[in-house]
Structure 1
Amino acid sequence: MPNRLPADERRAQLVGAALELAEGGGVGAVTVRAVAEKAGVSLGVVHYCFDSKEALVVAMANAVVGELAGAMHAAFDVPEDTQQTGGVDCLRSMLHTGLRSMWSAIESTPGLQTLTYEITAYSLRQRTDGSPASGDIAVEQYRLMDEQARLFLDTCAERCDVEWSLPTSTLARLSLSVLDGVVLRWLVDRDGDAATTELGVVADIIATRAVERS
């Protein structure tokens, strides 16, 4: 009989098992039975934690987004006394640091990154087939990504005492759209040097939308 774990720990365990299955065989490999066997628990335990496969896929998407967000927020761990005093140059530096941290996490987990696109495609395909609940997976995935991007951009601006010339929501959406393309292209050609250069250009472009606070 499996050890009893707090609900949050059990859910995290099951999400980890589902991600391992999906990295090897795609979203199609994630079934309640397969996750239960991978985690060494009963089917009832999985059903208790997740009322449907769709709920489990949402949790998987959130876990991946959270991991990337954590990597980007490593930019905030720079000691205060080593940061520039402020202004657009400070902001540009923080953007470069954040994107480099994020890229390090992406480059070390290509299977996981491929999975994020597969989760999106799975969700949209299910919605086309008449399952709106499954279609909401992609909506929730991008909602969380937008939220994390806005937090990152707002924190950078606050740290460097600048403000954005566009609504942060618009800038976050645009930035994520560009980053999506960079990551997808890298998954195709695995040209890390090109991706690193492109991310630097992205950081510089984003920085042009910041102005000194009056």
Structure 2
Amino acid sequence: MSNRLPADERRTQLVDAALELAEDGGVGAVTVRAVAEKAGVSLGVVHYCFESKEALVVAMAHTVVDQLLEAMQAAFDVPADGTHLQGIERLRAMLLSALRAMWSAVDSTRGLQILTYEITTYSLRHRAGGPATSGDIAAQQYRRMDEQAVAFLDACAERSGVCWTLPTEAVARLALALLDGFVLRWLVDRNADAGEAELDTIADVIASRAVTRP
């Protein structure tokens, strides 16, 4: 394999190798030696691109969040069913369409979902005594997801003719917290039938935080 890749491409190659290792064996399986072997490069190449394992995990986290945000954005772009509806009913239809599309993406990326929780836990464990960059991973992850959710919820409110009874940021936090718990429970029991019913409930809870615009 050529060792003359541009720095950005080399970093991407190493992050991809690290993610493959982590999806199979968790963050604990990601070592400089293992990544070098997986990518087919020397230890020196890995050390040149990433000063430490923590720096590599930070890069992994950014890649994972980018993939999740891409799936989230694709879900938000799905047209809502029942476009003849208005007000709260249309809002609920839009929410449910997005949740179902997002669920489809989650269902096909089980390993990635587990890794997301593991990286979050890794970040929280390092927040007190580890490098600042690794301790801030979880905060950055949720901040970026909050931004996407706020934009989506504001667009839903505008299109359906409703307004939120709480600041949109608060509704976004609630929605993402519900989704977090929903995905984690599914990873534990893999009950697809219960999951489908819970999506309806989540849509109801979020829609209950809105009122028809005067």
Instruction: Say how many residue pairs are matched.
Output: 213
SS in 2 for 1:131: coil
* Match in the other structure for 1:121: 121
Unaligned segments of structure 2, at least 5 residues: none
Answer yes or no: is the 8 Å Cα contact 1:68–1:102 preserved in 2. Answer: no
1:90 counterpart = 2:95: no
Pairing of 1:94-105 with structure 2 (within 5 A): 94-105=94-105
Answer yes or no: is the 8 Å Cα contact 1:146–1:173 preserved in 2. Answer: yes
Q: C-alpha distance in 2, partners of 1:3/1:158?
A: 52
Distance apart, 1:157 and its partner CA: 2.4
Supply the AA of the counterpart residue of 1:131.
Answer: G
1:143 counterpart = 2:143: yes
Q: Residue deviations 1:121-157, cap 9 Å, x none?
A: 11222234x1152321222222222222222222322
Distance apart, 1:78 and its partner CA: 4.4
Answer yes or no: is the 8 Å Cα contact 2:79–2:97 preserved in 1. Answer: no
Answer yes or no: is the 8 Å Cα contact 2:54–2:131 preserved in 1. Answer: no
**C-alpha distance 75-104 of structure 1, shift in aligned 2 (>3 A):** closer
Moved more, 160-169 or 4-13: 4-13
SS in 2 for 1:97: helix
Q: C-alpha distance in 2, partners of 1:187/1:94?
A: 25
Answer yes or no: is the 8 Å Cα contact 1:58–1:140 preserved in 2. Answer: no
Answer yes or no: is the 8 Å Cα contact 1:75–1:101 preserved in 2. Answer: yes
Moved more, 185-194 or 64-73: 64-73
Q: C-alpha distance in 1, partners of 2:13/2:161?
A: 41
SS in 2 for 1:28: helix
SS in 1 for 2:163: strand
Answer yes or no: is the 8 Å Cα contact 2:164–2:210 preserved in 1. Answer: yes
Answer yes or no: is the 8 Å Cα contact 2:13–2:39 preserved in 1. Answer: yes
| Pairwise CA RMSD | 2.6
Unaligned segments of structure 1, at least 5 residues: none
Q: C-alpha distance in 2, partners of 1:211/1:27?
A: 44
| TM-score, normalising length: structure 2 | 0.85
* Percent identity for Structure 1 against Structure 2: 70
Q: C-alpha distance in 1, partners of 2:21/2:185?
A: 24
| TM-score, normalising length: structure 1 | 0.85
Distance apart, 1:85 and its partner CA: 6.4
1:30 counterpart = 2:34: no
Answer yes or no: is the 8 Å Cα contact 1:2–1:40 preserved in 2. Answer: no
**C-alpha distance 79-3 of structure 1, shift in aligned 2 (>3 A):** farther
SS in 2 for 1:163: strand
**C-alpha distance 194-143 of structure 1, shift in aligned 2 (>3 A):** same
Q: C-alpha distance in 1, partners of 2:52/2:208?
A: 44
Q: C-alpha distance in 2, partners of 1:188/1:89?
A: 32
**C-alpha distance 39-175 of structure 1, shift in aligned 2 (>3 A):** same
Q: C-alpha distance in 2, partners of 1:78/1:173?
A: 21
